[in-house]
Structure formats: structure tokens, C-alpha cells
Amino acid sequence: MSQVKAYGAEANDADLKQLDIKRREILPNDIHIEIDYCGVCHSDIHQVRNDWKNSKYPVIPGHEIIGHVVAVGKEVTKFKEGQKVGVGCMVDSCQDCDACDEGLEQYCEKGMTATYNSPDKHLGGHTFGGYSEEVVVDEKFVLNVSEKLDMKAVAPLLCAGITTWSPLKQWNVQKGDKVGVVGLGGLGHMGIKFAHALGTHVVMITTSPNKSEDAERLGADEVLVSKNEEDMKKHANSFDFILNTVPVGHDVNPYLNLLKRDKTMCLVGAIEPLKGVNGGALIVKRKRLAGSLIGGIQETQDMLDFCGEHNIVSDVEMIDMQNINTAFERIVSSDVKYRFVIDMQSLKD
């Protein structure tokens, strides 16, 4: 066991500051990773601030981790020292239930072990995330990353990437489909990039006309301003799939009206109550409202491989660890294009 430097929050202080934490010894299947970069996810803020009433302190956030291997357990064959690797939102699961057997560890029936703020099976207490110098993770939950990509910009793929990729694959989005992406933030900008790379006709659906230029740069073929009722009518019953990345409860009815018969809108952001969903909006043309939670390990690897082939990364703004509290404030006011990534070198300075 060793002490490592990390950044986190104590119970009575939502400001993050340097803390010392313990890392476990290297087990036979473990990968010991020195962290180079860690993306900043909106959910990090929710956890630090205990918005979901399940935080355990101290909270060390971070589940968009890119690093390099500094040591491997004696039974590890898939990874070697020096290799660039990624760790996403999970570091363990039961590996024995139907969900795990299907490669859907995020839906593990005994509960996945989240990268931070989950019960820690090895050390007791709870897990600590990637706002840290180092992390030790079972090789099953460590991902390969293409060395040809810009590592800083790969970090957000581990959460924002897989969260938007998984529903596009789950709902079998195909070349030529008309796909809507609602909301242009960390998730939405990845949704546009993936939907574009999959050969769909991508429509960015937003309340803010001033996001048009950026949406088109990211790969949107059209921008639909949801406040424009006339335009919303023109697009009614025309979408094959809608990816809804809005991170808070909102009125989904105008978006349901955009779907074709038998088609689906999938929520990936809003875990809160939605404003009165009209049963009629689902019944009249047999539409579906669904949800999706990150993605399994195999599909995360598939997504990263796809990104390597298609040269896809996130749009990021780099910060030093010491500026994390300012970054949190800027995320809350949607002032980031589109993901902050912490240069973990700054923690060592």
C-alpha cells in the first residue's frame, strides 16, 4: 500500500483540495497506472456536492482517466509497462450475473463498482477516482487506447464518449438514418461526432441558435432550434432516433413529436423527473422513451477502437488540478467547449 496525492472534497467543504489517499498493493490481475489526464464530468460535481444524496467523503472524483502502465500483476498478459491505457466509470463488477456475462457490467445485478464513491472490495471504505497521481485497477476494467490519438482529448471518451456511443449502437442507428442530438455539452458534442461518423444525417436540436456554427463544425448536417415552433412542425414524425443529452429534468414532449412511428428517444443525462410526459405522444404512433447508462467494457473498447480508426476525440480545454473549483463553476454555467481535462502533471509540481 502506498500514499498518493489526490484532489478531493471533504463532507463540509465542497471546494476540492489536495488530500493523501491509499492505493492497494498490486494483485496478480492488477494494472498500476500513473495518471496523465483526467476529464471532468458533470456528475463529478453532483457527487462532490452530494446532489444525489449518496456521496461518501472524502470524494476523490474522476472517471475519464488516461495514463500509462507503471507495473502489472504477475498474471497480467494483456498490458505491459509503459503502455497508454484508459479507465472509465467502472473498476469492478461481480463478473457472474447475466448482465456481466453479456458484457454489460454497468448493469451488474450485484451493482458495479464505480471508479469512485463505490464500496471498495479490497481496502474497505469506498473507491477513489482519477483526480489523483495513480490508480490500481483490475485488468478487465482497463482499456486500450490508440497511441495515434491525442491522449488529452481521449480522456472524455471514457464517459462522455461511451455514454453517447452505447445507445447509438443499442438502437441500431444506421447509415442514412435521421438522428437528432438534443443538447450541446460534453455528451452532446460526442453524440454529434459519433452520429456523423456512423454516416447518419445529424440534426442538432437546441434551444440556443448561437450554437449552430459550432454544431456544424462538429458534424451536424442541420440545426433545429426547438423554440421555433414552425421548424419543429416541419420536422415532426421524421426522426429515426433521438439522443437526449440534457442533464436535468425537462419537457420531452416536443422531442417525442419529432420521432417517426416505432422510433425511440433515449435519455442519457436527465436522471430527474421529466415534466409531464404525454402518454398520447407515445401511444399515437407507438413511440418509445428509453434510457441508457454509460456502456459495458467490451463496447467501450469497441468505441475506442472506432475512435482510433476514425480519428475521433473530444474537444477539450486543459486545466491544472489547482483550478478545479473554477472549472466546476464554469461547467455549471455551461462555459466549456466541451470538456475540461486535468493535466495531472500539475498535481506533481
Would you count residue 170 as binding a second copy (CB under 8 A)? yes
The residue from 114, 181, 197, 268 that contacts a second copy (CB under 8 A) is 268
Closest CA to 244 of 234, 230, 254: 254
Q: Which three cell numbers stand for residue 100?
A: 456481466
The residue from 19, 38, 76, 99 that contacts a second copy (CB under 8 A) is 99
Nearer to a second copy, 264 or 301 (CB): 264
Closest CA to 243 of 320, 191, 177, 319: 191
199 DSSP assignment: T
Would you count residue 280 as binding a second copy (CB under 8 A)? yes
Looking at 43-51, 70-78, 270-278, 338-346, which segment touches a second copy (CB under 8 A)? 270-278
Would you count residue 164 as binding a second copy (CB under 8 A)? no
Would you count residue 168 as binding a second copy (CB under 8 A)? no
Would you count residue 267 as binding a second copy (CB under 8 A)? yes
Considering the complex, what minimum distance in angstroms separates the CB of residue 279 from a second copy?
Answer: 4
Helix axis angle for 186-197 and 160-170, nearest 10°, is 50
Inter-residue contact 30 to 73 (CB < 8 Å): yes
d(CA 144, CA 84): 7
What binding mask, one character per residue, do residues 115-134 give for a second copy by CB under 8 A, x or -?
--------------------
Closest CA to 252 of 221, 214, 290: 290
Would you count residue 287 as binding a second copy (CB under 8 A)? yes
The residue from 148, 275, 333, 349 that contacts a second copy (CB under 8 A) is 275
**Any residues with CB less than 8 A from the CB of 192 and at least 6 apart, and which?**
181, 184, 202, 204, 215, 218, 219, 220
The residue from 12, 53, 273, 333 that contacts a second copy (CB under 8 A) is 273
**DSSP calls for 112-158:** -EESSSSB-TTTSSB---SSBSEEEEEGGG-EE--TTS-HHHHGGGG
Q: Total residues contacting a second copy (rule CB under 8 A)?
A: 34
Would you count residue 278 as binding a second copy (CB under 8 A)? yes
Would you count residue 291 as binding a second copy (CB under 8 A)? yes
250 φ/ψ sector (left φ>0, alpha ψ -120 to 50, else beta): beta
Would you count residue 269 as binding a second copy (CB under 8 A)? yes
Would you count residue 28 as binding a second copy (CB under 8 A)? no
d(CA 262, CA 282): 9
Nearer to a second copy, 71 or 284 (CB): 284
The residue from 26, 79, 282, 337 that contacts a second copy (CB under 8 A) is 282
d(CA 300, CA 75): 23
Would you count residue 61 as binding a second copy (CB under 8 A)? no
Would you count residue 46 as binding a second copy (CB under 8 A)? no
Would you count residue 112 as binding a second copy (CB under 8 A)? no
Considering the complex, what minimum distance in angstroms separates the CB of residue 261 from a second copy?
Answer: 5
Which residue's C-alpha cell is 478531493? 8
Nearer to a second copy, 152 or 263 (CB): 263
Would you count residue 264 as binding a second copy (CB under 8 A)? yes
Inter-residue contact 106 to 112 (CB < 8 Å): yes
Would you count residue 274 as binding a second copy (CB under 8 A)? yes
Enumerate residues 224-243 that contact a second copy by CB under 8 A: none
d(CA 32, CA 135): 6
Cis preceding-peptide flag for 338 (omega within 30 of 0): yes
Interacting residues toward a second copy by CB under 8 A? 99, 104, 107, 170, 249, 261, 264, 267-293
